[in-house]
Structure 1
Amino acid sequence: MTEPSARSTGDVALPDQALVEEATKKSGLVWVRGGGPARALWHVWHEGALHLVGDGPGEQPLPQLVDGGTAEVTVRSKDKGGRLVVWTAAVSELEPHAPAWEAAVAELKGKRLNAPDAEVMTERWARECRVLRLEPRAATTDLGSTSLAEPPLPTPATTRRPAPAGLPRLLVGRKKKRA
């Protein structure tokens, strides 16, 4: 008896589509490579695709992700943090205030943490940012056993300074007072 062929959604076979969707929904961030180094990006899963907002002031960078291009998305396991699935995506930029953009932004707005301008955030996104849709095309669960660890990318947000000399004494003093 032959097995029935796997139905597909887009180019991803249905069992892989289910893994891609569930893993991506549950992961707080994904690693996205659009041609340069991979970046950790926050996202939402909405209507069968991953959605990102960025490239504006105070938002995450979306380097080398272009409309009509492709990207590689690596999803980590929420409990262990290791790679769970890697999938290839078709990238499309959503037109501001189009119905698809409005639906995606409604989801993204709920996940955006620490926004300085939550009341007018969506208008700022329409003016200054890009909203991207990454739709799965192919997936793999055979990830090999090699580590893909790399040094962090340079950013002005990180500082490497020694801890102040008095800090350990302050922390130890607090523990003693609590006890």
Structure 2
Amino acid sequence: MENAEGIWAGRSDEELLEAAKKYSEYTEDAERVIRVELARRGLEPPEPPIGACSRCGSWIARGHSLDGCSRCGEPFPPEILHVLGAPEGGAPLEPEVTLESVLRTADAGLIAIAKSLLEGEGIEYLLRGDRLPDLFGAGRLGGFNILTGPAEFLVHPLEAERARALLEGFDAPTEPAPDPEEDA
């Protein structure tokens, strides 16, 4: 163990703090050596582990990936997944993302075409306000309800550019036919 203590004593603060973030990748003895060295230097150690892998015994730290043990791949039990922040059923939480608007239209025909195009390209979308106008006042006079406005397609920011290119021109007003009397 003296060799391990000497190795960690020779590392920089940054290397030590980085190793401390990955306790689950080290043995219990190595974790203890890292914790002792952090304390010796007056550095703040990370939170203690929340559990251990049932197969190999590796420590599981808060913030650990929900995929399972980083050493042996054993899936975590529900109580560990709960502490790690997984929703019921064990599926990982998606980070909070602000969706981007790619199309606003009151035209029911364009809504159907846009849905078809986005689905055909595998772009996931949220359609806000599509059915809401029918609940208020006079319904869809003029194509949309003045209280709720037009329907709006929202997509993940990583898909926004592709979706906009796909739907280009859908929200542009139609060009009026040229007036023959103006040319005269």
Shared topology, TM-score over 0.5?
A: no
Structure having greater relative contact order (Cα 8 Å, sep ≥ 6): 1
Q: Normalising to structure 1: TM-score of the pair? A: 0.25
Which structure: greater strand fraction?
Answer: 1
Q: Normalising to structure 2: TM-score of the pair? A: 0.24
Which structure: greater helix fraction?
Answer: 2
Larger CA Rg, structure 1 vs 2: 2
